[in-house]
Amino acid sequence: MALDQAFVGRTYPATDAYLVSAAKIREFADAIGDDNPAYRSVDAARALGHRDVVAPPTFVIVVTSRAASQVTSDPALGLDYSRVVHGEQSFTYERPIVAGDRLVAVATVEKIRSAAGNDLLTVSCAVSTADGEPVATARSVIVARGTAKD
Amino acid sequence: MTATVSFDSVQVGTELPAQSFSLQRVNLVMYAGASGDFNVIHWNERVARSVGLPNVIAHGMLTMAEAGRVLTDWVGDPGAVLEYGVRFTRVVAVPDDDAGALLEVTGTVTELLDGRRVRVELSAAAAGEKVLGQARAVVQLA
Protein backbone atom coordinates (compact mmCIF):
# COMPACT_ATOMS: atom_id res chain seq x y z
CA MET A 1 0.00 0.00 0.00
CA ALA A 2 1.28 3.46 -0.88
CA LEU A 3 2.45 5.55 2.04
CA ASP A 4 0.00 8.12 3.36
CA GLN A 5 0.72 11.63 2.03
CA ALA A 6 -0.75 13.01 5.25
CA PHE A 7 2.62 12.28 6.86
CA VAL A 8 4.35 14.92 4.74
CA GLY A 9 5.35 17.77 7.03
CA ARG A 10 5.04 15.69 10.17
CA THR A 11 7.76 16.39 12.72
CA TYR A 12 8.72 13.88 15.38
CA PRO A 13 9.87 14.66 18.93
CA ALA A 14 13.52 15.57 19.45
CA THR A 15 15.73 12.67 20.42
CA ASP A 16 17.27 12.51 23.89
CA ALA A 17 20.57 14.38 23.99
CA TYR A 18 23.47 12.32 22.68
CA LEU A 19 26.81 13.07 24.31
CA VAL A 20 29.56 12.76 21.70
CA SER A 21 32.60 11.10 23.25
CA ALA A 22 36.17 11.08 22.00
CA ALA A 23 36.05 7.29 22.32
CA LYS A 24 33.04 7.04 19.99
CA ILE A 25 34.68 9.33 17.44
CA ARG A 26 37.80 7.17 17.52
CA GLU A 27 35.72 3.99 17.20
CA PHE A 28 33.95 5.45 14.17
CA ALA A 29 37.23 6.58 12.60
CA ASP A 30 38.71 3.12 13.20
CA ALA A 31 35.66 1.53 11.57
CA ILE A 32 36.15 3.56 8.39
CA GLY A 33 39.90 2.93 8.56
CA ASP A 34 40.73 6.63 8.72
CA ASP A 35 43.87 7.50 10.66
CA ASN A 36 43.44 11.29 10.46
CA PRO A 37 45.00 12.58 13.73
CA ALA A 38 42.20 15.17 14.13
CA TYR A 39 39.89 12.23 14.99
CA ARG A 40 42.20 11.04 17.77
CA SER A 41 44.41 13.78 19.16
CA VAL A 42 43.08 16.87 20.93
CA ASP A 43 46.31 18.67 20.01
CA ALA A 44 45.92 17.81 16.33
CA ALA A 45 42.29 18.94 16.36
CA ARG A 46 43.13 22.17 18.18
CA ALA A 47 45.85 22.90 15.64
CA LEU A 48 43.02 22.98 13.08
CA GLY A 49 40.99 25.32 15.26
CA HIS A 50 38.60 22.82 16.85
CA ARG A 51 37.73 22.73 20.54
CA ASP A 52 38.28 18.98 20.85
CA VAL A 53 38.71 15.93 18.61
CA VAL A 54 36.53 16.36 15.53
CA ALA A 55 34.20 13.76 14.04
CA PRO A 56 34.34 12.51 10.44
CA PRO A 57 31.71 14.20 8.24
CA THR A 58 29.43 11.16 8.07
CA PHE A 59 29.49 10.67 11.86
CA VAL A 60 26.27 12.75 11.90
CA ILE A 61 24.40 9.55 11.01
CA VAL A 62 25.11 8.18 14.51
CA VAL A 63 22.91 10.96 15.88
CA THR A 64 20.31 11.20 13.10
CA SER A 65 19.65 7.48 12.72
CA ARG A 66 17.94 7.56 16.10
CA ALA A 67 15.63 10.33 14.91
CA ALA A 68 15.00 8.80 11.49
CA SER A 69 14.09 5.45 13.00
CA GLN A 70 11.16 7.15 14.73
CA VAL A 71 9.76 7.65 11.23
CA THR A 72 10.71 4.34 9.67
CA SER A 73 9.37 2.37 12.64
CA ASP A 74 6.19 4.45 13.08
CA PRO A 75 3.41 1.83 12.91
CA ALA A 76 0.98 4.49 11.69
CA LEU A 77 3.17 5.13 8.63
CA GLY A 78 3.41 1.40 8.02
CA LEU A 79 6.75 1.20 6.24
CA ASP A 80 7.81 -2.42 5.66
CA TYR A 81 11.32 -2.22 7.01
CA SER A 82 12.37 -5.53 5.43
CA ARG A 83 11.89 -3.86 2.03
CA VAL A 84 13.77 -0.68 2.86
CA VAL A 85 17.02 0.41 1.26
CA HIS A 86 18.96 3.63 1.60
CA GLY A 87 18.53 5.62 -1.61
CA GLU A 88 20.27 8.92 -0.98
CA GLN A 89 22.01 10.73 1.84
CA SER A 90 23.22 14.29 2.14
CA PHE A 91 24.59 16.45 4.91
CA THR A 92 25.02 20.17 5.33
CA TYR A 93 27.17 21.37 8.20
CA GLU A 94 26.96 24.55 10.24
CA ARG A 95 30.09 23.37 12.02
CA PRO A 96 31.81 20.04 12.56
CA ILE A 97 30.80 17.81 15.46
CA VAL A 98 33.40 17.69 18.23
CA ALA A 99 33.79 15.57 21.34
CA GLY A 100 31.77 16.98 24.21
CA ASP A 101 28.83 18.04 22.05
CA ARG A 102 25.41 17.19 23.45
CA LEU A 103 23.29 16.76 20.34
CA VAL A 104 19.61 16.36 19.67
CA ALA A 105 17.98 15.54 16.34
CA VAL A 106 14.51 16.36 15.07
CA ALA A 107 13.14 14.34 12.15
CA THR A 108 10.62 15.72 9.67
CA VAL A 109 8.96 13.89 6.79
CA GLU A 110 9.73 16.14 3.82
CA LYS A 111 8.36 14.22 0.89
CA ILE A 112 6.61 10.99 -0.03
CA ARG A 113 6.45 9.91 -3.63
CA SER A 114 6.15 6.77 -5.71
CA ALA A 115 8.42 5.82 -8.58
CA ALA A 116 8.61 2.56 -10.51
CA GLY A 117 6.49 0.80 -7.94
CA ASN A 118 8.65 1.91 -5.02
CA ASP A 119 7.78 4.32 -2.24
CA LEU A 120 10.39 7.02 -1.70
CA LEU A 121 10.38 8.73 1.67
CA THR A 122 12.50 11.84 2.25
CA VAL A 123 13.30 12.52 5.89
CA SER A 124 15.30 15.51 7.07
CA CYS A 125 16.93 15.54 10.47
CA ALA A 126 17.97 18.82 12.04
CA VAL A 127 20.86 18.36 14.46
CA SER A 128 21.55 20.96 17.10
CA THR A 129 23.14 21.12 20.50
CA ALA A 130 20.87 20.64 23.47
CA ASP A 131 21.21 24.42 23.91
CA GLY A 132 19.80 25.05 20.45
CA GLU A 133 22.94 25.80 18.41
CA PRO A 134 22.43 24.44 14.88
CA VAL A 135 25.11 21.89 13.90
CA ALA A 136 24.05 19.99 10.81
CA THR A 137 21.14 18.85 8.69
CA ALA A 138 20.90 15.32 7.32
CA ARG A 139 18.53 14.43 4.51
CA SER A 140 17.82 10.78 3.74
CA VAL A 141 15.83 9.22 0.95
CA ILE A 142 14.54 5.84 2.05
CA VAL A 143 13.23 3.50 -0.62
CA ALA A 144 10.62 0.87 0.19
CA ARG A 145 10.93 -1.57 -2.69
CA GLY A 146 7.79 -2.64 -4.49
CA THR A 147 5.28 -1.27 -1.99
CA ALA A 148 3.65 1.55 -3.94
CA LYS A 149 1.29 -0.51 -6.11
CA ASP A 150 0.37 -3.24 -3.59
CA MET B 1 38.92 25.43 10.42
CA THR B 2 42.23 25.19 8.67
CA ALA B 3 42.24 23.81 5.17
CA THR B 4 45.68 23.02 3.83
CA VAL B 5 44.73 23.57 0.19
CA SER B 6 44.63 27.15 -1.06
CA PHE B 7 41.67 28.24 -3.17
CA ASP B 8 44.19 30.02 -5.41
CA SER B 9 45.90 26.70 -6.21
CA VAL B 10 42.85 24.99 -7.72
CA GLN B 11 40.75 25.42 -10.83
CA VAL B 12 37.84 23.63 -12.44
CA GLY B 13 39.23 20.25 -13.41
CA THR B 14 41.74 19.98 -10.58
CA GLU B 15 41.83 16.33 -9.55
CA LEU B 16 41.97 15.22 -5.93
CA PRO B 17 44.38 12.38 -5.15
CA ALA B 18 42.55 9.15 -5.99
CA GLN B 19 42.37 6.40 -3.39
CA SER B 20 41.34 2.75 -3.16
CA PHE B 21 39.74 1.27 -0.08
CA SER B 22 39.54 -2.42 0.72
CA LEU B 23 36.27 -3.45 2.33
CA GLN B 24 36.25 -6.82 4.02
CA ARG B 25 33.70 -8.49 6.27
CA VAL B 26 35.54 -7.28 9.36
CA ASN B 27 35.13 -3.69 8.20
CA LEU B 28 31.37 -4.19 7.91
CA VAL B 29 31.25 -5.66 11.41
CA MET B 30 33.25 -2.73 12.78
CA TYR B 31 31.06 -0.22 10.96
CA ALA B 32 27.90 -1.90 12.25
CA GLY B 33 29.15 -1.51 15.80
CA ALA B 34 30.40 2.04 15.37
CA SER B 35 27.31 3.32 13.56
CA GLY B 36 24.65 1.26 15.31
CA ASP B 37 23.33 -0.07 11.98
CA PHE B 38 22.93 -3.80 12.60
CA ASN B 39 20.74 -4.56 9.57
CA VAL B 40 21.38 -8.27 8.91
CA ILE B 41 22.05 -7.74 5.19
CA HIS B 42 25.42 -6.28 6.23
CA TRP B 43 26.64 -9.37 8.11
CA ASN B 44 24.45 -12.39 7.39
CA GLU B 45 25.03 -13.92 3.95
CA ARG B 46 22.14 -16.37 4.32
CA VAL B 47 19.63 -13.58 4.90
CA ALA B 48 21.23 -11.29 2.30
CA ARG B 49 20.86 -13.92 -0.41
CA SER B 50 17.32 -14.78 0.72
CA VAL B 51 16.21 -11.21 -0.04
CA GLY B 52 17.80 -11.28 -3.48
CA LEU B 53 21.15 -9.66 -2.81
CA PRO B 54 24.30 -11.10 -4.43
CA ASN B 55 26.02 -11.40 -1.05
CA VAL B 56 26.44 -9.49 2.17
CA ILE B 57 26.59 -5.82 1.15
CA ALA B 58 28.47 -2.88 2.60
CA HIS B 59 26.48 -0.23 4.45
CA GLY B 60 25.79 2.61 2.02
CA MET B 61 26.98 4.93 4.76
CA LEU B 62 30.29 3.06 4.94
CA THR B 63 30.78 3.55 1.20
CA MET B 64 29.91 7.22 1.65
CA ALA B 65 32.37 7.52 4.54
CA GLU B 66 35.20 5.96 2.55
CA ALA B 67 34.54 8.16 -0.47
CA GLY B 68 34.56 11.14 1.89
CA ARG B 69 38.13 10.33 2.87
CA VAL B 70 39.20 11.55 -0.56
CA LEU B 71 37.79 14.94 0.46
CA THR B 72 39.16 15.08 3.99
CA ASP B 73 42.60 13.69 3.13
CA TRP B 74 42.88 16.32 0.39
CA VAL B 75 41.78 19.32 2.40
CA GLY B 76 43.38 18.22 5.68
CA ASP B 77 40.69 19.51 8.03
CA PRO B 78 37.54 17.34 8.21
CA GLY B 79 35.72 20.47 9.34
CA ALA B 80 36.29 22.05 5.94
CA VAL B 81 33.61 19.84 4.38
CA LEU B 82 30.51 22.06 4.33
CA GLU B 83 28.14 19.88 2.31
CA TYR B 84 28.34 16.26 1.22
CA GLY B 85 25.70 14.16 -0.50
CA VAL B 86 25.43 10.93 -2.51
CA ARG B 87 22.97 8.63 -4.21
CA PHE B 88 23.42 4.92 -3.60
CA THR B 89 23.06 3.58 -7.11
CA ARG B 90 24.42 0.04 -6.78
CA VAL B 91 25.16 -2.27 -3.86
CA VAL B 92 28.74 -3.15 -2.91
CA ALA B 93 28.87 -6.90 -2.39
CA VAL B 94 31.51 -8.03 0.09
CA PRO B 95 32.42 -11.71 -0.34
CA ASP B 96 33.71 -13.83 2.53
CA ASP B 97 37.29 -14.07 1.28
CA ASP B 98 40.63 -12.41 1.95
CA ALA B 99 40.11 -9.74 -0.70
CA GLY B 100 36.60 -8.45 -0.02
CA ALA B 101 35.57 -5.54 -2.22
CA LEU B 102 37.79 -2.80 -3.57
CA LEU B 103 36.28 0.67 -3.65
CA GLU B 104 38.02 3.05 -6.06
CA VAL B 105 37.35 6.74 -5.52
CA THR B 106 38.32 9.80 -7.54
CA GLY B 107 37.40 13.44 -7.12
CA THR B 108 37.42 16.51 -9.34
CA VAL B 109 36.83 20.19 -8.65
CA THR B 110 33.79 21.09 -10.77
CA GLU B 111 32.99 24.65 -9.68
CA LEU B 112 34.66 27.59 -7.96
CA LEU B 113 32.29 29.21 -5.45
CA ASP B 114 32.35 32.43 -3.45
CA GLY B 115 34.01 32.56 -0.06
CA ARG B 116 36.97 30.48 -1.28
CA ARG B 117 34.78 27.38 -1.50
CA VAL B 118 34.74 24.77 -4.25
CA ARG B 119 32.33 22.12 -5.41
CA VAL B 120 33.84 18.66 -5.84
CA GLU B 121 32.35 15.72 -7.67
CA LEU B 122 33.38 12.25 -6.50
CA SER B 123 33.25 9.02 -8.44
CA ALA B 124 33.21 5.69 -6.62
CA ALA B 125 33.36 2.27 -8.27
CA ALA B 126 33.54 -1.32 -7.10
CA ALA B 127 34.21 -4.25 -9.44
CA GLY B 128 34.25 -1.77 -12.29
CA GLU B 129 30.71 -0.54 -11.63
CA LYS B 130 29.79 2.91 -10.40
CA VAL B 131 28.26 2.61 -6.92
CA LEU B 132 27.55 6.25 -6.05
CA GLY B 133 25.68 8.81 -8.12
CA GLN B 134 25.62 12.58 -7.74
CA ALA B 135 28.36 12.30 -5.14
CA ARG B 136 29.08 15.96 -4.52
CA ALA B 137 30.58 18.10 -1.82
CA VAL B 138 31.25 21.73 -1.04
CA VAL B 139 34.63 22.25 0.58
CA GLN B 140 36.09 25.33 2.23
CA LEU B 141 39.62 26.02 1.03
CA ALA B 142 42.21 28.32 2.57
Supply the pTM of this predicted model.
0.96
Among A111-125, A134-148, B14-28, name the one with the lowest average pLDDT. Answer: A134-148
pLDDT higher than 80, residue A146: no
Q: What is the ipTM of this complex?
A: 0.96
Interval B67-99: pLDDT, tens: 999 999 999 999 999 999 999 999 999 999 999
Examine the pLDDT at A150 and tell me if it is beyond 70. no
- Residue A92 lies inside a defined structural domain of this protein: yes
What residue in B sits closest to A28 (Cα-Cα)?
Answer: B34
What would the mean pLDDT of B45-72 be, rounded to a whole number?
A: 96
**pLDDT of B57:** 96
Specify whether the CB–CB gap between B105 and B18 falls below 8 A. Answer: yes
Task: Tell me how far apart the alpha carbons of residues B131 and B117 are, in angstroms, rounded to a whole number.
Answer: 26
B127 touches A at CB < 8 Å: no
Residue A76 within a domain: yes
Q: Which domain holds residue A105?
A: 5-20+56-144
Q: What was the pLDDT predicted at A148?
A: 62
Q: Pick the more confident residue, B59 or B4.
A: B59
Asked whether the predicted pLDDT for residue A109 surpasses 80, the reply is yes
Tell me how many domains chain A contains. 1
The answer to whether residue A137 sits within a structural domain is: yes
Q: Closest to A58 (Cβ–Cβ): which among B27, B30, B64?
A: B64
Residue A30 domain flag:
no
> What is d(CA B23, CA B102) in angstroms, rounded to the nearest whole number?
6
In CATH, the number for domain B7-22+59-140 is 3.10.129.10
Q: Is residue A26 part of a domain?
A: no
What residues of chain B lie within 8 A of the CB of A39, using their CB? 78
Tell me the average pLDDT across A137-143: 96
